[in-house]
Structure 1
Amino acid sequence: MKFSRFYRSAAIASVAAIALAACGSDNGGEGSAESNGNGGGEEVSASGNLIGGGASSQEAAMTAWTSGVTEVHPDLTVNYDPVGSGAGREGFIAGQYTFAGSDAAMSPDEQEQACGGGSSFHVPSYISPIAVAFNLEGVDTLNMDAETIASVFAGEITSWDDDEIAEQNPDADLPATDITVVHRSDESGTTENFTDYLSGAAGDVWSWEAAEEFPEELTGESAQQTSGVVSLTSDTDGAITYADASQVGGLSTVAVGVGEEYVEYSADAAAAAVETAEEDPEAEGARILDRNSEEAGAYPIVMISYHIFCDQYEDEALVDQVKAFGNYVISEDGQSAAEESAGNAPISDTIREEATTRLDEISVAG
């Protein structure tokens, strides 16, 4: 099996108004003990305003989480800025955000700079398929293997009636419409996961490594954030893009070749792919996906989107806010709310138990 992991260098954003003084690597603090009743973690009573930012893929789920947590903690408000994974991690490092949402794990370099030089960890919070979505009149779905998807996005296949597409879709009435590739213009964890899939599954057809920025030498149209690429694709006949499946709206989608079958995206198919993921030894709490799996029913273009926290924060109020929100998100109630809102695959009991332990050990820096 071929596994890959992500690295990038951090660009440090200017320090914003919200102070995040988190330092030290000790992981064994005590928190307050009143009731949250949801996550199975330490019970806390939280109030105030918690600020986070990052992956736009989480936007629909985050709406459900920020609303739902107030039912458990009426005095806690959570504000989340969907600026993209890269900008979210930069803001977390700079102290702009108390937590970050990211579709990719932090690199070792980023981890050294985060949390005032202390320790951080990842909580898998949102598991979702990335849809290969297109706008082609009269065509609702198409089959494509990894090599074909890679050839399209690399600009090697330029027309929808190309033989390579037609051979996998003998019953489709394919027009001779030009293909317009639409990709993200901003740093994006969705791009990183998508290019990681192409790098891992498409062989020599895709020669670029996984990265948060789409290869600049490839032609195509671009837009910022998930909503941007979906909107541009929807407005362009013959366009194709990649986006979090919860936000593709009325676009048609590709069933992806896995072994001898073609698998359409779904929460269950995404969860099946995550079952083969290994723990990342260089990013606490993160997972490494097997992009070349041939497991039946597994949809391989999947992302595990994280919430990234510090092990220590400057005061008890921040500790309680983070514990309350983090434990709500991973609770059965939180995951169910996100599934209803965004169609993601709920995390497993194993992931929940590991995350609960890490969240409960957050302490006040001293």
Structure 2
Amino acid sequence: MKFQRSGYLAGIALTATLALAACGSDNNDGGTGSTGASAAPGSCGTGSLTAQGSTAQKNAMDEWIKNYQAQCSGAKVDYQGTGSGAGVQAFISGTADFAGSDSAIKEDDLTKASAKCGSGPAINLPMVVGPIAVVYNVDGADNLQLDASTIAKIFSGKITKWNDPAIAALNSGAKLPSTAIQAVHRSDESGTTDNFTKYLSKAAEADWTFSNAKAWKAPGGTGAKGSDGIASLVKSTPGTISYVELSFAENSDLKKAKIKNGAGEFTELTGDSAGKTIEGAKVTGTGNDLTLSIDYNTSTAGAYPIVLVTYEIACEKGSPKAADIKAFLNYTSSTGGQSALGDLGYAPLPESVRAKVATSVAAIS
């Protein structure tokens, strides 16, 4: 099922009619779709930018770059999905003009990055909302419902059968088989793993004792490399359950569980439901830094609680390419830029967050 346009976040005004043909995947080559939403007149950069980092936002970046360069003939942006950690280090070393990261830059790296900027601090700009789907392959559970405690017990090996009483209690009437559960996790270090385990550590504290990290820490289970590896293994193997970005779940036509939020609702993953969780996030950064603290126990009605936000890390002041960085990020943070993400399995930023990001981008000099 394609990402629901009706799920676009309240308050986001579409500035163009979209006819995008590109579909998100690790192997996205940019496709042949329309150029999507336009950059604002007079806002085009004229130079070249080099950036790298988060693979979770790579498909969004590919689409943005395609659209931006089509509208801005003098601009060139090269973004490589090398991973969040590599992106941050490239930014600190000066080989990347800005970096993409699945989490805000840590304090020690922030000091180094700000020193690289010179006249201004490095700032975190939330730019891409990547909902994380809990995907599964089991007969008799087309509309599986799960809560944080049960998910934690499954991935820590405490629940091992699909007809376990804990799962059955959440799915009245479902014909759950006695099949063994095969929990699948990322074998490589991943921001998706970091955010998924952050959700478990916050929403199921009593049942998840492994904290959160990019590397999988819980015992047992089966590892698969990359989001495409996760999707492929779940698609081909009955009895499996895993976590993966929405675009990969949809591209592989995987079943997605409804997740219980802090309001007691079992919520389907849509752009609207993921956006409601981000809309309730608190800004913990200062000035133009927009580091967000996400409430994984959100009691907002209709909110889907398992989400990640990927950031662009840039110099607020001092970069010799400030004008070009500002022009490109002005496009990505615009309503048009954000609306281009829906067909790729992302959720646009809620308008309340998008407006703050656009203001921070405007301060880059």
TM-score bracket, shorter-length normalisation: 0.7 to 0.9
- Once residues 263 and 294 of structure 1 are traced to their aligned partners in structure 2, the CA distance between those partners, rounded to angstroms, is 12
- Post-superposition Cα deviations, 1:205-249, rounded to whole Å, max 9, x if no partner, equal 01122222221x421222333222222322322221111112213
Which residue matches 2:293? 288
Indicate whether 1:336 and 2:339 are aligned: yes
1:106 to partner: Cα distance: 1.1
Indicate whether 1:262 and 2:266 are aligned: yes
- Once residues 130 and 137 of structure 1 are traced to their aligned partners in structure 2, the CA distance between those partners, rounded to angstroms, is 22
8 Å Cα contact 1:123-1:355 kept in structure 2: yes
TM-score (norm 2): 0.82
- Once residues 77 and 274 of structure 2 are traced to their aligned partners in structure 1, the CA distance between those partners, rounded to angstroms, is 28
Query: Any idea what SS the aligned residue of 2:341 has?
Result: helix
- Once residues 165 and 251 of structure 1 are traced to their aligned partners in structure 2, the CA distance between those partners, rounded to angstroms, is 19
> Cα 1:322–1:281, aligned 2, differ >3 Å: closer, same or farther?
closer
Q: How does 1:116-265 map to 2 (within 5 A)?
A: 116-118=115-117, 119-137=121-139, 139-215=141-217, 217-248=218-249, 249-258=252-261, 259-265=263-269
> Cα 1:345–1:135, aligned 2, differ >3 Å: closer, same or farther?
same
1:83 to partner: Cα distance: 2.4
Number of residues of Structure 1 aligned to a counterpart in Structure 2: 322
- Once residues 149 and 328 of structure 1 are traced to their aligned partners in structure 2, the CA distance between those partners, rounded to angstroms, is 38
Query: Any idea what SS the aligned residue of 2:184 has?
Result: strand
1:138 to partner: Cα distance: 5.1
Query: Any idea what SS the aligned residue of 2:256 has?
Result: strand
1:37 to partner: Cα distance: 7.7
- Once residues 110 and 159 of structure 1 are traced to their aligned partners in structure 2, the CA distance between those partners, rounded to angstroms, is 43
8 Å Cα contact 1:329-1:335 kept in structure 2: yes
Indicate whether 1:307 and 2:312 are aligned: yes
> Which one is further off, 351-360 or 193-202?
351-360
Query: Any idea what SS the aligned residue of 2:244 has?
Result: strand
1:75 to partner: Cα distance: 2.0
Indicate whether 1:97 and 2:96 are aligned: yes
1:182 to partner: Cα distance: 1.5
> Cα 1:83–1:180, aligned 2, differ >3 Å: closer, same or farther?
farther
- Once residues 44 and 194 of structure 1 are traced to their aligned partners in structure 2, the CA distance between those partners, rounded to angstroms, is 37
- Once residues 144 and 132 of structure 1 are traced to their aligned partners in structure 2, the CA distance between those partners, rounded to angstroms, is 9
> Cα 1:94–1:187, aligned 2, differ >3 Å: closer, same or farther?
farther
Runs of 4+ in structure 1 displaced over 3 angstroms?
36-40, 115-118
- Post-superposition Cα deviations, 1:69-121, rounded to whole Å, max 9, x if no partner, equal 11331222222222222332233223332221122111101111225444211
1:326 to partner: Cα distance: 0.5
- Once residues 348 and 262 of structure 1 are traced to their aligned partners in structure 2, the CA distance between those partners, rounded to angstroms, is 21
Which residue matches 2:12? none
- Post-superposition Cα deviations, 1:2-60, rounded to whole Å, max 9, x if no partner, equal xxxxxxxxxxxxxxxxxxxxxxxxxxxxxxxxxx98469xx544233322222222132
> Cα 1:285–1:171, aligned 2, differ >3 Å: closer, same or farther?
same
> Cα 1:236–1:85, aligned 2, differ >3 Å: closer, same or farther?
farther
> Cα 1:80–1:164, aligned 2, differ >3 Å: closer, same or farther?
same
- Once residues 140 and 81 of structure 1 are traced to their aligned partners in structure 2, the CA distance between those partners, rounded to angstroms, is 37
8 Å Cα contact 1:46-1:76 kept in structure 2: yes
1:321 to partner: Cα distance: 2.0
- Post-superposition Cα deviations, 1:122-146, rounded to whole Å, max 9, x if no partner, equal 1111113210111224533310111
Which residue matches 1:319? 322
Query: Any idea what SS the aligned residue of 1:205 has?
Result: coil
- Once residues 93 and 324 of structure 2 are traced to their aligned partners in structure 1, the CA distance between those partners, rounded to angstroms, is 19
> Cα 1:59–1:37, aligned 2, differ >3 Å: closer, same or farther?
closer
- Post-superposition Cα deviations, 1:182-222, rounded to whole Å, max 9, x if no partner, equal 2123332211211111111113101122222221x421222
- Once residues 59 and 263 of structure 1 are traced to their aligned partners in structure 2, the CA distance between those partners, rounded to angstroms, is 27
8 Å Cα contact 2:146-2:167 kept in structure 1: yes
Which residue matches 1:68? 67
8 Å Cα contact 1:161-1:176 kept in structure 2: yes
8 Å Cα contact 1:133-1:242 kept in structure 2: yes
8 Å Cα contact 1:134-1:252 kept in structure 2: yes
8 Å Cα contact 1:62-1:338 kept in structure 2: no
> Cα 1:145–1:60, aligned 2, differ >3 Å: closer, same or farther?
same
Which residue matches 2:106? 107
- Once residues 130 and 255 of structure 1 are traced to their aligned partners in structure 2, the CA distance between those partners, rounded to angstroms, is 12
- Once residues 351 and 267 of structure 2 are traced to their aligned partners in structure 1, the CA distance between those partners, rounded to angstroms, is 25
Quick one: percent identity of the two aligned structures?
37
8 Å Cα contact 1:155-1:218 kept in structure 2: yes
Which residue matches 2:83? 84
